[in-house]
């Protein structure tokens, strides 16, 4: 499953993991990287180290052009697991081999955000983004349907998700995307006002 990199016609060995905050990107990404003997890279950490963060407050704004330059330098010629919600704004389809989009139910995300002491606004913004498939849609637009797969991390252990990612990446399990629908869940449980009002 190697794709051609238009920057140098080299085979790619880049696995991306993206999704809303608290879906398990870092913990799962580290397990995947360790199991494959790949280098683990966190986009947020690279942005902070390179001085590409425009605002480190509630919204965490990043200079994506600066971050992209740093990332391209770090991944060149390496086998890498690259994680972060900014992934669709940093790399394109011909620069990455496979992208796992992590998903999580709104109720579980709310519990995770509360543990992180997010403000009410930040909780609501991130949950509404997950409900409306913002990270998934960004990944689909940037990487195309042949590159991405979705993984539901709700009430599942990181090791199990990492195993599923490896199986799909290697072609030993079926790729699935576009089947997760949190809107139906919150309509059924009458949470529409709480999360989207």
User: pLDDT digits over 64-80, tens only?
Assistant: 899 999 999 999 999 99
| pLDDT computed for residue 8 by the predictor | 42
Query: What is the pLDDT confidence band of residue 55, given thresholds at 50, 70 and 90?
Result: low
CATH says 14-196 is which class?
Answer: alpha beta
Is the pLDDT at 89 greater than 70? The verdict is: yes
Is the pLDDT at 17 greater than 60? The verdict is: yes
CA–CA dist 120, 134 (Å, integer)? 19
CB of 94 closer than 8 Å to CB of 115: no
pLDDT higher for 12 or 14?
Answer: 14
50: left (phi over 0), alpha (psi -120 to 50) or beta: alpha
- Using N-to-C axis directions, what is the helix angle for 25-36 and 158-170, rounded to 10°? 50
Query: What is the pLDDT confidence band of residue 59, given thresholds at 50, 70 and 90?
Result: low
Domain ranges of the chain: 14-196
Is the pLDDT at 1 greater than 50? The verdict is: no
CB of 143 closer than 8 Å to CB of 99: yes
| pLDDT computed for residue 161 by the predictor | 98
User: Whole-model pTM?
Assistant: 0.89
């Amino acid at each position: 499953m190697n794709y051609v990199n238009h920057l140098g016609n080299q085979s790619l060995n880049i696995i991306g993991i993206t999704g809303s905050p608290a879906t398990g990107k870092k913990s799962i990404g580290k397990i995947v990287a360790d199991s494959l003997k790949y280098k683990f890279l966190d986009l947020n950490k690279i942005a902070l180290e390179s001085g590409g963060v425009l605002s480190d407050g509630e919204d965490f704004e990043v200079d994506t052009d600066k971050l992209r330059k740093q990332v391209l330098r770090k991944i060149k010629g390496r086998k890498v697991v690259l994680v972060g919600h900014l992934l669709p704004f940093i790399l394109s389809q011909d620069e990455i081999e496979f992208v796992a989009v992590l998903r999580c139910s709104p109720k579980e995300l709310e519990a995770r955000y509360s543990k992180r002491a997010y403000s009410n606004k930040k909780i609501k913004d991130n949950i509404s983004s997950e409900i409306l498939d913002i990270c998934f849609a960004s990944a689909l637009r940037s990487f195309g349907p042949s590159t991405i797969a979705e993984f539901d991390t709700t009430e599942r252990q990181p090791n199990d998700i990492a195993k599923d990612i490896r199986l799909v990446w290697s072609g030993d399990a079926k790729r699935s995307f576009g089947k997760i629908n949190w809107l139906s869940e919150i309509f059924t449980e009458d949470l529409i006002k709480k999360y989207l009002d």
